[in-house]
Amino acid sequence: MESSMEGCQTQFIYCNGAATEVLKVGAAHHLSGTDVLFLIIPGNPGVVGFYRSFMQTLHGMLGHPVWAVSHAGHCAPPGSMDMVEDASAADKRDAFGLNGQIQHKLIFLQQHVPRGTSLVLVGHSIGCYMILEMMKREPGLKVLKAVMLFPTIERMAQSPQGKLMTPLLCQLRYLAYLPVFLLSLLPHSLAALLIRLLFSSIPALDPSVVPPSVQLLSGDCAVNSMYLGGQEMRMVLERDDVTIRRNLDRLIFYYGATDHWCPVSYFQDMRRDFPHGDIRLCDRGLRHAFVLDAGREVAQMVAEWIRRSMRT
């Protein structure tokens, strides 16, 4: 099922048996194996609508098609679609867990991107961990560059935000299901008003993030996001130095200076251990959830990095 709005095309598909939203900007129907495709692997929640402004700016500056693939189950599929094709099969392969989400991205590439397409992977937060795993599991992927924005690739539960969220996501997650269910019953207009109130402290809020935030209140989407978050706290432990070293010339890391999910000490460790890597520290005061108010600004930075790297 497809829809188009403001130069973006939205598709809902089943991938690895789970409902998946794909957002496309530029050349949606004519991708060939000779193209360069920018593919966004989102953070958590993996709702692609949050990246709309980022994607439009990136496409406008570079001209290449830019796609974003949601995490499995991190969407509100149309009424004609269930969240999964086969519930028992989805449970068996843990489709909404961290490993299932990584497999989901690899299957998406196999089924929906022509073989031989050159990829620029752009990860955000846990999406960076997924990209490293994708490159590890499928070393034949034709990845030109992988851009890691605010990367949560190690010691998540030990980070300041991880220490706060681990009890909620791992021990108390089920207690959050009732308020999530009640919020899902709100009329769309009231839910949008609530979101705007929650974000009222962000003066430059990108209005395009309000609809996906409302989508996140749809119940199943939020539950799947919390389930993934609990697995992140338990499974994202040691940094994968082997994969990083093997692909160092293709990786760009961008850490936040005030990021409570990956503190500056993680950046300093990376710089010490990989002195020849392209590892940057934000000097613009950007938040971990940059899509809320700085999607265009970050896209402009990424475009410049890619332009320079393509010339060398």
208 catalytic, yes or no? Answer: no
Kindly report the number of other CB atoms within 10 A of residue 38's CB atom. 25
Q: What type of residue sits at position 154? A: E
Q: Using omega within 30 degrees of 0 as the cis cutoff, is the peptide bond preceding 151 cis? A: no
Closest CA to 43 of 312, 310, 295, 301: 295
249 catalytic, yes or no? Answer: no
Do residues 261 and 156 lie in contact, with contact meaning Cβ atoms separated by under 8 Å?
A: yes
Beta bridge mates, 69: 22
Residue 57, burial from CB neighbour count under 10 angstroms (0-12, 13-18, 19+): buried
Which two tokens mark 161? 């935000």
Do residues 100 and 93 lie in contact, with contact meaning Cβ atoms separated by under 8 Å?
A: yes
Strands 66-69 and 118-124: unpaired
Which residues, in sequence order, are CB contacts of 36 under 8 Å at separation 6+? 64, 117, 118, 119, 120, 144
Euclidean distance between CA atoms 59 and 266, whole angstroms: 31
Q: Which helix (H) or strand (E) holds 99?
A: helix 98-112
Catalytic-labelled residue, pool 59, 74, 124, 288:
288
218 catalytic, yes or no? Answer: no
Catalytic-labelled residue, pool 64, 71, 74, 125:
125
Euclidean distance between CA atoms 123 and 140, whole angstroms: 19
Euclidean distance between CA atoms 105 and 15, whole angstroms: 9
Write the CA distances from 242 to 115, 135, 238, 279, 292, integer angstroms: 26, 11, 11, 16, 33
What are the catalytic residues?
A: 125, 259, 288
